[in-house]
Amino acid sequence: MAGIEHTIVKRTREAKAMFEFVTQRATHALEHSRRMTTQLYTAVETGARQELAHAKQQTSAWLSELKLDAAYQLRVAAETSQRQLTDVQHLAQQQLHQAQRDVPALMNEIRAEASQSLRTAQVLSTAEWRYVSERVSTDLRQRQEAVTRTFDDIGARARRTLSDASTNAQALMREIAGQGPEKTLHRGFALVRDATGRVITSATALDTHITIDFRDGQRAAELKGRAQ
């Protein structure tokens, strides 16, 4: 037991010593890392500042060059535009002078063509008017003749219709006259009237004094008794 305890104590001391050694080494490593990190950060910051300063210098130089180039390009463009504007004005003046020289001749040509067209139109209009007048006169004459023939036909048909109607009316009047009361009386019938002259057609008439028409005269009569 004493040997085991001695061994445990020994191992414990060795472990403690090892832990202290590891802790010391870790502390040294941590300090070294901190120093290295600080140095690296300082170096990076210094390099970044240097690069930034260099970039500012480069940017200023580039901006200066761009400004100079832009000013040059602008001056060249202005000169080119001025030359082109001068050329355009000169060309426009030339075309205007040419147009001023050409316009009178062109107007004379247009007037001549217009006069010729007007004369041609007048001649054609006169001939066309004569043709139209002749056609209208012919059509009017033909229409008048057609209307006259139509009226003649209508008059003839109207006269025939009137004659036929007159003949039919006379025949109808003769037929009506042949079917009057007088013809009925000749067949043996009699016509009975009341005191006022109205025809009596019913046996229930209230008037007792009547007149009977025969084919050859009238006779007065008196009704007696009741109708059966």
User: What's the CA gap between 32 and 24, in Å, rounded?
Assistant: 12
Please tell me what DSSP assigns to residue 199.
B
Residue-level pLDDT at 110: 80
Count of positions (residues) in the chain: 228
Q: State pLDDT tens for residues 34-89.
A: 889 888 888 888 888 888 888 888 888 888 888 888 888 888 888 888 888 888 88
Whether pLDDT at 209 is above 70: yes
DSSP codes of every residue in 87-154: HHHHHHHHHHHHHHHHHHHHHHHHHHHHHHHHHHHHHHHHHHHHHHHHHHHHHHHHHHHHHHHHHHHH
**Rounded to a whole number, what is the largest CA-CA distance in the chain?**
199
Whether pLDDT at 127 is above 80: no
Whether pLDDT at 1 is above 80: no
Cα-Cα-Cα-Cα dihedral sign, residues 117, 118, 121, 123? negative
What the block records as the tokens of 140 is 């009017």
> What is the separation, in whole angstroms, between the first and last Cα of the chain?
179
The predicted model scores a pTM of: 0.27
User: What's the CA gap between 90 and 96, in Å, rounded?
Assistant: 10
Residue-level pLDDT at 141: 84
User: What's the CA gap between 106 and 98, in Å, rounded?
Assistant: 12
Q: State pLDDT tens for residues 163-187.
A: 888 788 777 776 665 555 666 666 6
Residue-level pLDDT at 49: 87
* CA-based radius of gyration for the chain: 74
CA 198 to chain centre: 81
How is the chain split into domains, by residue range?
Answer: 181-228
User: What's the CA gap between 221 and 111, in Å, rounded?
Assistant: 118
Please tell me what DSSP assigns to residue 208.
-
Instruction: Name the pairing type of β-strands 217-222 and 191-193.
Output: unpaired
At residue 207 the predicted structure's pLDDT band, cuts being 50, 70 and 90, is low
User: What's the CA gap between 119 and 31, in Å, rounded?
Assistant: 121
